[in-house]
Structure 1
């Protein structure tokens, strides 16, 4: 057994990573003895002002290293991250590289680590949608196959991993670190009326307490003009039933303008907001009547908050949110969307239950297991 560990090299690259990494770093600091860590931001998401707000809201430390990669095609971005990450691995000589989620940064840094014989630890392993047209699905599969320690958010993820040839002994069910962030941050959430007012929207829009929150960003939904037109029309219809607060991703906003579809959302019952900070979005979600999204993470968060969620995708890599939680996957079926929305307005919709180990302690379980695992390896 060793007494001093080399640092755990922790990677973030995009907004969903931040929510997962924040509680992990706190758990590393709180563990006895503490696990040393170094945080690197690849710069995959590079809006510095938004990053600063998110880091502050999540109480996530400033990364010691920023690779400032920026945007590009999947191949270009992945290659550039690998090129800039490799010297860091050589310099820091970490006990392991810890990656979270399924973005390009996750895959790129995992590939660098495994080729340099550095153990790879994947948090949020084993999630599968079965849809290989999703870039994230490819990232998930590849990262899990090269990882040495895999932490899952739900028990069914183990079946996916074993079916793909991963040794069950490498997998540890720890729970959902996204929910750790949500539960610890909920008392700090910004009230919805303040968020609207801060963005120049009359809070009277949600005065009766019933409103929906919308996010859309998946390329399959927003990059095709016909698909985006259909979705915008569906949202316009929904606004006749209840007001909507739409936090528009830059990609989505750009395509609405590019395809000349902005007028479809020029509706007094639709509040169009820029991307929001974590605490702003958390406040909106917590009080919402319904969430309408194509985000994987928001499917989980609404389940934890007991808020009905309508997912505008044909599948989900988080089936537990459907089986146990509040999520309904409806694709882009306009008639089903209206029926589902009407049901929520009449009955309150699915409330579900909070899944096992979505209790705010997932990061602590990861820290305890990882410390023991690294000790056994003599890292």
Structure 2
């Protein structure tokens, strides 16, 4: 039996195509959810046509969005408590089809190494890691993602690496390394991009998302980038999609004056199926999201990653500019974004099919 351990909406988005590919091959995978994200889970599951989690590793009635590092210890204790008390049932589920079981984790969230540890230490199961092998070479940047990836690698038996670069990073890892050619988000994007949603956005616009702890916890840096976007919006509208943490920081630091309804426009964060068609319409993107870097790379969409480091190679030296948190580099991008546009590769890769075929071939179903 195959079990997914996931905890965020981003993980659900990237695991959904793999889930569907396995179901198409006759498998009946289960989903165990750690509840790092809670608020948008119901709508995300509905949008992605995924079933309700078979097990909430944080009891659903007590689950809350994990928004700050200080919340991690209590969350981790709750997950461990459920995994320990439910280990007999979880082991039985993995063995229910009479074949070896495997637990699949994804990416670099707190759930990734924790899920791998639960699989290895508590369930005595093998571990498959999707989006394996990404590295910046700096343990503190981004933190804790770089550390999460490295810990997960040490417990993984099957590494699904998005490109040859990640395969190279895993050259000393034990177990099987499989090059999937791309991240599974490309499969999710193909499903989402044709979705039809009404919106009240300008006909043409730039798009921004800025949400990482490293930026929000530095009011001067956060203000600087918002001011640059406000100034750039004089040449054309820019829409900033902000979740609750970003809005709280904007209110705390009195930054609402930067926004208006015509040029620099703040909108609520959108659900995935609604967001991807809007992303495809954008003239350019400014973000601190590694996931959005990949999505823009596959679309060939001009994208500035406002971070000091990125673990992803997709789009670099092409449509993606890593600013290093330097305002001069961001200004250069905003003034010359059209030069960064590249052709779309959205229909060239099918990593979820490779992952499903590999798991089935190895005897997991």
Gaps of 5+ in 1: 1-6, 197-202
1:91 aligns with 2:100: no
Q: Which residue of 2 aligns with 1:371?
A: 360
1:64 aligns with 2:54: yes
Q: Which residue of 2 aligns with 1:188?
A: 195
Distance 1:152 1:86, change over 3 A: farther
1:149 aligns with 2:158: yes
Pairwise CA distance, 1:313 = 0.6
Helix, strand or coil: the match of 2:199? helix
1:254-269 equivalent positions in 2, closer than 5 A: 254-266=248-260, 268-269=262-263
1:327 aligns with 2:333: no
1:271 aligns with 2:265: yes
Q: Which residue of 2 aligns with 1:226?
A: 220
Indicate which of 210, 235, 238 corresponds to 2:229.
235
Say whether the 8 Å CA contact 1:326–1:352 is kept in structure 2.
Answer: no
Q: Which residue of 2 aligns with 1:349?
A: 340
Helix, strand or coil: the match of 2:265? strand
Say whether the 8 Å CA contact 1:189–1:282 is kept in structure 2.
Answer: no
1: distance between equivalents of 2:343 and 2:84?
44
Pairwise CA distance, 1:360 = 4.9
TM-score (norm 2): 0.88
Pairwise CA distance, 1:284 = 1.1
Pairwise CA distance, 1:257 = 1.5
Runs of 4+ in 1 over 6 A off after TM superposition: none
Pairwise CA distance, 1:267 = 6.1
CA RMSD after TM alignment:
2.1
Indicate which of 132, 135, 138 corresponds to 2:139.
132
Pairwise CA distance, 1:60 = 2.3
1:115-167 alpha-carbon deviations (Å, 9 max, x no partner): 132111100000112232211111111111111111011111011122xx303
1:43 aligns with 2:35: yes
Q: Which has the higher helix share?
A: 1
TM-score (norm 1): 0.85
Q: Which residue of 2 aligns with 1:4?
A: none
1: distance between equivalents of 2:251 and 2:345?
39
Gaps of 5+ in 2: 95-100
1:257-314 alpha-carbon deviations (Å, 9 max, x no partner): 2222232334631221112111221111101100111111111111111211111011
Say whether the 8 Å CA contact 1:314–1:329 is kept in structure 2.
Answer: yes
